[in-house]
Amino acid sequence: MSGPDDTIPPPIVHRGDVAPEQPNDVARTLLAQARQALDAHDPEAAVQGFLRAAGLLSAQGLLADAQAARLLAAGALVGHDPDRAEDLWSTLCGPVQLGGAAEVQCGLVGARIAQALGRSADVLTRLARARAGALAVRDPIAYLTAASQAAAVHLQRGEAVAAYGQLASAWVTLADLVGRETAARWLRPLMLELRAGLGEDAFDLVRRNHEAERQASPPPAP
């Protein structure tokens, strides 16, 4: 057997034979630790971890990832300090349209915050933002999430016709995205749940009222 090939240079090693951590590795570690802090019901530690990770990601030019980490920080504050969560969300999202997946996350996280603050009108506005973003990137799951949440909020507000309309509109939109069979499989249980909650007669009345409103006005935004 021949000896070692002296033409091949030895591997370069670092202290302890471990390569030094890169900023992105540190950011991933911080994100993992922040999620663990959330699981341990330590929102302050989670927020600090998410924000530190966001700073590292931003410094590397990974702006979308940094934005997502900051939104995680805002979400971590929802049950702990919703006013602070709202301040952070407003800084990140505010009135600026970010486009696509960022709009989805801004809308969904913002809706959670508004719900915690008892501002149902803002919840609906932010869920509409999430639906528009989901439609722009053709994300049917995010669209369904936002639409079903909006229907639930309308129902809480005593707006049964609007709740039905939200689900009916989602059924049509999702049929375009994922096909009629899949859309029916996703939406039919929600419609049945609405019917069970309202009662058969009330549900039929809501459906008729929705159809009358739909025929008397332009179609709503998706």
The count of domains in the chain is 1
The answer to whether residue 39 sits within a structural domain is yes
User: pLDDT by residue (tens digit) across 142-158?
Assistant: 999 999 999 999 999 99
pLDDT exceeds cutoff 70 at 17: no
Please report where in the chains the tokens 């990770």 appear, as a residue.
53
DSSP states along the chain: -----TTSPPPP--GGG-PPPPHHHHHHHHHHHHHHHHHTT-HHHHHHHHHHHHHHHHHTT-HHHHHHHHHHHHHHTTTT-HHHHHHHHHHHTTT----HHHHHHHHHHHHHHHHHTT-HHHHHHHHHHHHHHHHHTT-HHHHHHHHHHHHHHHHHTT-HHHHHHHHHHHHHHHHHHH-HHHHHHHHHHHHHHHHHHH-HHHHHHHHHHHHHHHHHSPPPP-
The per-residue pLDDT for 198 is 96
In a domain, 46, yes or no: yes
Asked if the structure places residue 32 within a domain, the reply is: yes
How confident is the model over 23-46, as pLDDT tens digits?
A: 578 989 999 999 999 899 999 999
Residue 129 inside a domain? The answer is no
Q: What residues make up the domain containing 39? A: 23-80
Digit-coded pLDDT (tens) for 96-152? 667 778 899 999 999 999 999 999 999 999 999 999 999 999 999 999 999 999 999
**In-domain check, residue 28:** yes
In a domain, residue 70? The reply is: yes
Per-residue model confidence (pLDDT) at position 9 = 43
Residue 19 has pLDDT above 90, yes or no: no
Tell me whether residue 17 is exposed, middle or buried, using C-beta atoms within 10 angstroms of its C-beta: 0 to 12, 13 to 18, 19 or more: exposed
How much is the average pLDDT of 57-82?
92
Q: Is residue 71 included in any domain, yes or no?
A: yes
Q: Tell me, yes or no, whether 49 lies in a domain.
A: yes
Q: What is the pLDDT of residue 220?
A: 55
- In angstroms, the CA 61 to CA 123 distance is 31
